[in-house]
Structure 1
């Protein structure tokens, strides 16, 4: 699937889809066209049972610099309703597509990642970043608070105090700082980023994707719920997973000292 704003490639053999933002000349600034295309692409691959892992990436020297402020300013001047609708119609649905898809999502951050771009990266389950990448929240600089889930995902990742600092002051931080804070799994050479992200996606696609889906739900629940609620959920999740072929086959493989094969069923 390809259009001017987003390119989706599927590796059917590996059961991996790559969703690539494709406005390199504008540093993947988020126009309505790009937001709609990204939302629809992520919802599509998220619901596709043939896809077992997803990579979110971007063409050009930037991952995403957030909202296209030229388009935004034009809409504000005209009195259009678009600036008020874009959060529920675009940003929230993009973030939700990444956080709720029942499969792992990996962000391959190859360049500047700010604003909603950072929100989308943090909505993924795992992140890789290229050496030299700079991150920032950027919202307060234009008189905004956070969106794209950043108010929650950033606080959960680095703690409320540091998240408040980053959101209020908007100071940029490096890929190495992001790694040290736990935001990024690994910092790699730019020329290795795509291959490393695909290798990680393939590894996950070969794993127990039903268990991964339950892990995503449980971790999200665990950040906002009391322990009693988490324990109840974990018990129900383990019961669901105990009935899967993946679990039963993996137990038998363990006892036979063999490597398990997972199918997602």
Structure 2
């Protein structure tokens, strides 16, 4: 009976899944053909790797790629660290007001970017508040947050948006874990920090890596926040792809599609590598037991 119920549940979502997969497959395949220079509407019928070669040798693309990896890695890493720490604090304090940390999840990224402009710009709320409390050059300090090469505004916005997702993922695991292992270590003389780092964190590692993977892949291809808060140069890859796509010359369209395909391939490779790491960790844990 259980297997029949499972089959029925899968059949229930099958039409929607088929539609989603079809739309994604057609869109990605069309973008891939255009990235090879096959764009009949513009009179381009020859398939070539020319556009990929041109992009790879383009210094602007290299800098955009490095900038995207930098903002994505830093924000994803800090989100995971903060999510784990806050989850541990919530479990120990037994706070039940979940709406406080669930709220950022439902807020769209474009609204997060607007919040960042309101609060973090050189004339924003925090800058004015600092000036009110006697910081005379507050606008100079806050000028480094947005539209800057250091990507601080992008990183802060991603952290604010992604930390609650990591928190919820880790929190559900922490609440189901028995704390007896930590208590044994503490009773034997270990500090709380040592017990948490060496006992609980290894058990959380598959969840931590999987949430990092999701957050990293999503941020790497995200558009709204880098577009609204990023610098004019270097741009994030998603923004660079949009700029190329907006070029009035149809002959420039393959460059935009090539960047999009590179983003997709990079995310697929990153997710695959991290999934292999998770499997090795899980299998290693099973063997140790």
Q: Under a length normalisation based on structure 2, what TM-score does the superposition of the two structures give?
A: 0.23
**In proportion to residue count, which structure has more strand?**
1
Q: Higher RCO, 1 or 2 (CA under 8 Å, sep at least 6)?
A: 2
**In proportion to residue count, which structure has more helix?**
2
Larger CA Rg, structure 1 vs 2? 2
